[in-house]
C-alpha cells in the first residue's frame, strides 16, 4: 500500500485490493494523493467559479500522462484502478479519467476495462435501491461509451447506447460517429431515426446530413439541404457554403433570392443580420423602417454593429437603430448603461446630418427635445451628452 500525507491526514493513493507491483511510480502516487484530497477540499471551499475544479481536472489528465510513460506498467491491473476511480467520483472531477488514461491503458487495458465494466453491469448487486441501480448503470454505460470513443468504434457506441433503450434519442451522436468512421450512408440512416430529443439539435442534423451527402457525392441533395436551412434560419454560414458550390454567374441571383426571403422572415433580428452579412445594406434599411415596432432596443450587442455598418449608405436606418437602443435604456432607467445610451444619441446626431428625407420620422432635434420632456429628471444622463469625446492616444 502506498500512502501520502495531506496535512495531518494519511491518504491512500490506491485501493487496497490493487497490487503494489502495478502501481510503483512516485509521480503517479503524488498525483493520486492530490486528486484524492479533492473531497476534503470541496468540503471546505466554495468553487462557484470552477477554478478549483479546473485544477483537479488537469491533475487527472496529468495522472494519465504520467502513467503512459511508465514502461513496466501492467495495463490489465491499471484498468482496475481506473474503474475504481471512475466509480468513486463524488464531485465529477474524475469524469474524464478514462480518456486521460487511454494511452496508458492501451488496447489491452481498454479491453480489460471493458470486461470489468460489463461484469459490473451484469452483477445483480450493484445497488440496494432502484434509484441507486439506475445511477450506477448510467455511470457504467457512460464508461463504455468513453471506451468506444477512445477506440473509434461506432458499433461499440451503438451497442452501448442501445442498452439504455433510447438509441433514437442519441441518433445525432451515432450519426456523427458513423460519419467520422467513413460510413456516411449509415449516418444518414441514423439521422432519419432521430426522435427530436436528447443531445444535439436540428442544426447538428443539418451539418451532419450535408457532410454525409457530400461524402456520397450527392451534391445536389447537399445543396438542397443548405438552401432549406437558409430559408428557415437565415444562416449566413450555410448561405456562404451554398454560394461556394454554385457557378459564379448564378451567385448574385441566389443572393437576391435569399435577401428577399429575409424581408419577411419571422425572426426580425436574423432578418437584419442576414442582408448586412451579405452586403445588402439597402435591404437591411428597408427591414428596419418597415418592421421597427418589432425591434427590441435591448438587443444592443447585435444592433450596434448593424447600425455602424449602415451609417454610410443607409443613414436614416442607422439613426433609427441608435435611437431605439438609447430609448430602451432611458425607458428602463438603467443608469449603469447611460454612457452607452448617450453615445448612441450622439452617434445618431452625427449620422443625421446625412439624412435628406426623414420619411415621416422625427428629425434629430425633435427627438432630443422629446427625450428631454420624457426623461428630463434622469439627471445622470444629460451631462453625458455635453461631454467631449476623449482624444485617442497615438500608438
- Specify which residues 217 forms β-bridges with: none
pLDDT digits (tens, 9 = 90+) for 310-323: 999 999 999 999 99
b/e sequence 101-137, b meaning 16+ C-beta within 10 Å? bbebbbeebbbbbbebbeebbeeeebeeeeeeeeebb
User: Is residue 179 in some structural domain?
Assistant: no
Spatial distance between the Cα atoms of 191 and 158, rounded to a whole number of angstroms: 13
Spatial distance between the Cα atoms of 269 and 296, rounded to a whole number of angstroms: 9
pLDDT at residue 276 in the model: 96
Spatial distance between the Cα atoms of 184 and 211, rounded to a whole number of angstroms: 8
Please report, for residues 37, 48, 54, 86, the alpha-carbon distance to residue 51 in angstroms, rounded to integers and kept in the order given.
16, 8, 5, 21
pLDDT at residue 166 in the model: 84
User: Is residue 324 in some structural domain?
Assistant: yes
User: Is residue 266 in some structural domain?
Assistant: no
Q: Which residues contact 266 (CB under 8 A, 6 or more apart)?
A: none
User: Is residue 235 in some structural domain?
Assistant: no
Residue 11 DSSP SS3: strand
pLDDT at residue 267 in the model: 96
- Specify which residues 6 forms β-bridges with: 9
> Which of 11, 97, 92 shows the shortest CA–CA distance to 53?
92
C-alpha cell at 13: 493513493
CA–CA–CA angle 247, 252, 258 (5° rounding): 110
Full domain range(s) for residue 384: 296-390
- Specify which residues 12 forms β-bridges with: 3
Place of cell 436540428: 202
**Taking all residues of the chain, what is their mean pLDDT, rounded to a whole number?**
88
User: Is residue 269 in some structural domain?
Assistant: no
Residue ranges for the chain with pLDDT beneath 50? 1-17, 19-21, 127-133, 389-395
pLDDT at residue 182 in the model: 97
pLDDT at residue 205 in the model: 95
Spatial distance between the Cα atoms of 269 and 279, rounded to a whole number of angstroms: 16
User: Is residue 234 in some structural domain?
Assistant: no
Q: Which residues contact 370 (CB under 8 A, 6 or more apart)?
A: 362
User: Is residue 34 in some structural domain?
Assistant: yes
C-alpha cell at 188: 444518414
Number of domains in the chain: 2
User: Is residue 163 in some structural domain?
Assistant: no
- Specify which residues 3 forms β-bridges with: 12
Residue 4 DSSP SS3: strand
Amino acid at each position: 500500500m502506498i500512502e501520502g500525507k495531506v496535512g495531518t491526514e494519511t491518504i491512500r493513493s490506491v485501493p487496497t485490493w490493487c497490487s503494489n507491483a502495478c502501481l510503483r511510480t512516485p509521480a503517479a502516487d503524488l498525483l493520486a494523493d492530490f486528486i484524492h484530497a479533492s473531497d476534503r477540499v470541496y468540503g471546505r471551499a466554495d468553487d462557484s467559479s470552477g477554478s478549483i475544479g479546473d485544477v483537479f481536472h488537469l491533475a487527472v489528465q496529468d495522472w494519465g500522462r504520467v502513467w503512459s510513460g511508465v514502461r513496466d506498467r501492467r495495463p490489465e491491473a491499471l484498468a482496475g484502478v481506473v474503474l475504481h476511480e471512475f466509480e468513486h467520483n463524488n464531485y465529477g472531477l474524475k469524469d474524464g479519467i478514462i480518456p486521460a488514461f487511454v494511452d496508458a491503458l492501451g488496447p489491452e487495458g481498454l479491453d480489460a476495462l471493458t470486461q470489468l465494466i460489463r461484469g459490473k453491469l451484469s452483477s445483480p448487486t450493484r445497488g440496494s435501491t432502484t434509484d441507486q441501480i439506475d445511477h450506477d448503470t448510467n455511470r457504467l454505460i457512460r464508461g463504455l461509451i468513453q471506451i468506444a470513443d477512445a477506440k473509434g468504434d461506432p458499433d461499440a457506441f451503438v451497442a452501448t447506447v442501445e442498452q439504455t433503450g433510447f438509441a433514437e434519442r442519441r441518433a445525432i451522436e451515432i450519426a456523427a460517429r458513423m460519419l467520422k468512421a467513413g460510413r456516411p450512408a449509415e449516418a444518414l440512416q441514423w439521422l432519419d431515426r432521430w426522435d427530436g430529443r436528447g443531445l444535439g439539435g436540428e442544426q447538428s442534423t443539418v451539418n451532419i446530413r450535408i457532410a454525409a451527402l457530400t461524402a456520397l457525392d450527392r451534391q445536389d441533395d447537399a445543396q438542397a439541404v443548405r438552401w432549406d436551412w437558409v430559408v428557415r434560419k437565415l444562416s449566413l454560414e450555410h448561405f456562404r457554403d451554398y454560394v461556394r458550390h454554385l457557378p459564379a454567374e448564378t451567385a448574385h441571383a441566389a443572393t437576391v433570392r435569399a435577401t428577399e426571403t429575409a424581408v419577411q422572415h419571422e425572426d426580425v433580428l436574423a432578418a437584419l443580420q442576414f442582408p448586412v452579412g451579405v452586403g445588402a445594406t439597402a435591404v437591411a434599411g428597408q427591414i428596419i423602417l418597415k418592421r421597427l415596432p418589432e425591434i427590441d432596443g435591448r438587443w444592443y450587442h447585435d444592433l450596434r454593429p448593424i447600425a455602424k455598418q449602415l451609417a454610410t449608405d443607409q443613414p436614416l436606418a442607422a439613426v433609427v437603430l441608435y435611437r431605439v437602443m438609447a430609448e430602451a435604456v432611458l425607458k428602463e432607467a438603467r443608469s449603469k448603461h447611460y454612457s452607452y445610451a448617450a453615445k448612441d444619441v450622439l452617434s445618431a446626431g452625427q449620422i443625421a446630418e446625412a439624412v435628406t428625407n426623414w420619411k415621416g420620422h422625427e428629425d434629430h432635434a425633435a427627438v432630443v427635445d422629446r427625450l428631454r420632456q420624457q426623461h428630463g429628471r434622469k439627471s445622470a444622463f444629460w451631462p453625458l451628452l455635453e461631454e467631449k469625446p476623449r482624444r485617442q492616444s497615438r500608438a
